[in-house]
Amino acid sequence: MLPNHPDETADSLGIREAVRKLCEGFPGAYWRELDRRSAYPTEFVKALSDAGFLAALVPTEYGGSGLSLEFAAAILEEVQRAGCNGAAGHAQMYTMGTVLRHGSDEQKRRYLPGIASGALRLQAFGVTEPTSGTDTSSIKTFARRDGDHYVISGHKVWTSRAEHSDLMLLLARTTLKSEVQKHTDGLSVFIVDMREAKGNGLSIQPIRTMMNHGTTEVFFDKVRVPAENLIGEEGKGFRYILSGMNAERILIAAECIGDAKWFIDRMTGYANERVVFGRPIGQNQGIQFPIAQAYVQMRAAELMVRQAARLFAAGRPCGAEANMAKMLAADASWAAADTCVQTYGGFGFAEEYDVERKFRETRLYRVAPISTNLILAYVAEHVLGLPRSY
């Protein structure tokens, strides 16, 4: 087992230990069976909810733990390090942030206690569309005001966990892009009660992918949403979701660090135990050096993740750090995954070792929730002052 980071506090170590104990009840066999059926880990998500881990960022006044993003990151890192998959429930942590920071007092009272207890699942985040991709300002899903309701029509894609959520945080246009001066204006955020909307204009189509991720397409055909479900001011929704995106990137970066640690633990153990030509394969520098390189790369990325989480927790600007943390951690987890398969050789492709499953799962994060190229474009423009490239 890799050593803990030297600046871990007693509280964070206690949380990590509690997460590890919970995850012991969900070993590799549990995840392999779900993977075969492309099934949702309902029992695992319930266990995380019942233990209060998914309510880490909800203030205590609404029934949550009121912890900082650093502690939330530690929770998700340990979930991944234990060989589990936090993607099944991680949005419950950060999606509610838009409601917390920009919702009305009534919206907070109505939704946050249920989100904290797990009675309400807010895990679906409806942003991306087939024709816009990461060009969020070009989304076409439109919400038209009709008395005390909005009527919403459009099409979202890569909306993960939509089949397993009660609520969706939805970004839609309320003013056509051609009618606004700034391309990010005219976007609004809504809370959609999917329990009411299903069968009343809202339909969900699962998308099968290379990993068990529960992602979907969601279609809106004149779905009526109460005007009271608008978050904040109409047309200002783009900035409302930005801070949530920073939290998302930092937490997913922490998951990637956990994945990297899982791979490093596994391949270190295997390299010590696997004997070929009369000696452990880990005695060969051809095996040692790639594992050591993966460890060094992970530790460097871990420092950026911690810095980004601390800046976010302190309420300081952290867009650059959140993006860099996500990129570095995703690269580190992928490098560790590739090295792990190479270390295991043919056994790395065998289902029973879990390496191939985790290999598939961690590959996602070099693409989502934002691609490496867009992160580099952000750093070039906003950090280095280079001309905007898109």
Give the pLDDT confidence of 254-273 residue by residue, as tens digits.
999 999 999 999 999 999 99
Give the separation between CA 89 and CA 109, rounded to whole angstroms.
22
Q: How confident is the model at residue 1 (pLDDT cuts 50, 70, 90)?
A: low
Give the separation between CA 304 and CA 309, rounded to whole angstroms.
9
Average pLDDT over residues 185-193: 98
| Phi/psi of residue 334, nearest 5 degrees | -70, -40
The amino acid that residue 161 corresponds to is R
**pLDDT recorded at residue 5:** 67
**pLDDT recorded at residue 242:** 87
Closest CA to 172 of 244, 236, 249, 94: 236
Average pLDDT over residues 33-50: 97
* Vertex 296: Cα angle to 269 and 335 (nearest 5): 75
Give the separation between CA 190 and CA 104, rounded to whole angstroms.
12
Average pLDDT over residues 245-257: 97
Please tell me the pTM assigned to this model.
0.96
Q: How far is CA 335 from CA 92, 271, 376, in A?
A: 28, 17, 19
| Phi/psi of residue 8, nearest 5 degrees | -65, 135
Closest CA to 45 of 120, 95, 141, 112: 120
pLDDT at 130 over 70: yes
**pLDDT recorded at residue 6:** 65
- Residue with token string 């029973």: 352
- Looking at the chain, the whole-number percentage of residues with pLDDT higher than 70 is 98
Domains of the chain: 10-117 (1.10.540.10), 122-236 (2.40.110.10), 239-383 (1.20.140.10)
**pLDDT recorded at residue 48:** 98
**pLDDT recorded at residue 197:** 98
Give the pLDDT confidence of 59-110 residue by residue, as tens digits.
999 999 999 999 999 999 999 999 999 999 999 999 999 999 999 999 999 9
Give the separation between CA 112 and CA 99, rounded to whole angstroms.
8
Give the pLDDT confidence of 142-178 residue by residue, as tens digits.
999 999 999 999 999 999 999 999 999 999 999 999 9
Token couple for 5: 């980071």
Q: Would you put residue 60 in left (φ > 0), alpha (ψ -120 to 50) or beta? A: alpha
Average pLDDT over residues 350-367: 98
3-class secondary structure, 294: helix
Q: Are strands 122-126 and 167-173 parallel, antiparallel or unpaired?
A: parallel
First to last CA, the chain: 44
Q: Please give the mean pLDDT across all residues of the chain.
A: 96
